[in-house]
Amino acid sequence: MSQDVAKALRKEFTSTNPLPVSGGTGGGGSGDASAANQLIEINRLEAIRDRLPSVGTAAPIKSMLKKWREEFNGTSLSSNWTINQTGAGQSITVSASELTIAAGTTANAETIITSTLSFKIPFRVLFIFTLSQRIVNQEFYLEIADSSGNHRASILLDATSAGTAKLNCANDNNSTGSISSTSFSTSSYGIAELEINSDEVNLYSRNANSSNGRGLSSAVLTRQIPDPNLDYFIRIRAKNLGTAPASNTNLKLDAIVVQDIEEITAEITAGRGGGGGQNQSVPVAVNNTPSVTVSSGSVAATNNANNSTIQLTSTPLGANANYTSSTQALSSYSTIRGWVETDQPGTLVLEQSHTTSGFKQIGNSISCTAGITLFEQKVYGAYARVNYTNGNNAQGTFSVVFSRCTFS
């Protein structure tokens, strides 16, 4: 509908010639054919038109369906919340941009509040909160739940450890139980984040206003998680068990943040066939140095990279005495090398084996004269050792240095 047509219709419908209406709403009865109502319908159609893509206006791509941040301003809960029940001896107060639920000391008392806003999976919700204490016979739930409460994902805070949070999920009230996560201390303000997806539910926790990132602590559940096709609400519960708790505990919620997202599949094409350098590449973090085997071609590598160098012995040998070193593991190394320093001639043999026994001489014996004699050998086995036999005269000086190297 063009702007000119819309203006003409607006003028026509506000004149003495309203549109004829046949039938009625809901399949029967008479409709409202007044000029005022027709003007409302025109405005609604124009709003729809403005949102439709056209040749000159591309369709917007958005992944955020709904976003909500509850800061608990004012002195009472806003219209975004429903108080389902207030337990005996328990209370709900809002003050200084903070919601406080006092759990009291009455056995079996439970307070429940639920958001009036609903959300679709996948979405994430962050709870910024603190607990005044952790004691037995009290439970606090920060959770999402469907209208029946049978499908839910919960952060459970119970027992006495201030550094533990539990992730619990249920599908049609069936649950595999809770999985514990060592979190921040709940005695100070922290963030507990639920990330709810159709394949898994994640719990992340960290301190508030901190340099710690999202990965401070986490847990994941993949079995009996909430149905991804339902609408979900934010729910807060404070519950006393059958045995009365020893004293009151205050749950303080500083804020609740929800990001209701829509998953979008996208292809990353930057750098495909281009020579633009790093600005076209996708960043990758390498946490550990990988081992690489080259089946063909060649690799330029830094030569003489000694990864492990030790002195095997410095004890002189008597006449015709023999020295056999300890076993040296060769895993991930390609070359062994080193030197022998002595003031008397002798014979060096390098031995290797695929086990820690059964060593074999690899290569020719090496004659050592007074001074320093170098040795080097390619790695063939999993283990190596040095075997040295002294000549006819006792040594005054003897040292063997052994290196395991990544590259030859």
Look at residues 242, 261, 280 and tell me which one is the last residue of a structural domain: 261
Looking at the domain assignment, is residue 197 inside a domain? Answer: yes
pLDDT of residue 40: 75
Q: Smallest Cα–Cα separation from 179: which of 225, 238, 245, 113?
A: 225
Q: How far apart are CA 39 and CA 401, in angstroms?
A: 95
- Structurally, the chain folds into a number of domains equal to 3
pLDDT of residue 29: 45
**3-state secondary structure at position 4:** helix
Looking at the domain assignment, is residue 208 inside a domain? Answer: yes
Check whether residue 101 and residue 45 sit in a common domain: no
pLDDT of residue 3: 56
| CB neighbours of residue 248 within 10 Å | 18
pLDDT of residue 165: 94
Check whether residue 139 and residue 13 sit in a common domain: no
CATH of the domain at 359: 2.60.120.680
Looking at the domain assignment, is residue 266 inside a domain? Answer: no
Q: Which run of H or E residues covers position 9?
A: helix 3-13
pLDDT of residue 6: 53
Backbone angles phi, psi at 47, to 5 degrees: -65, -40
Looking at the domain assignment, is residue 172 inside a domain? Answer: yes
Radius of gyration of the chain from its Cα atoms, rounded to whole angstroms: 37
CATH of the domain at 244: 2.60.120.200
Range of the domain at 190: 67-261
Strand partners, 129: 190, 253
pLDDT of residue 278: 59
Check whether residue 72 and residue 214 sit in a common domain: yes
pLDDT of residue 21: 46
Looking at the domain assignment, is residue 187 inside a domain? Answer: yes
Strand partners, 66: 260
Mean pLDDT by 10 residues, the chain (408 residues): 53 49 44 69 74 60 79 96 97 97 98 96 96 97 97 96 94 95 89 94 90 72 96 97 97 96 67 56 66 59 63 94 93 90 95 91 93 93 94 94 81
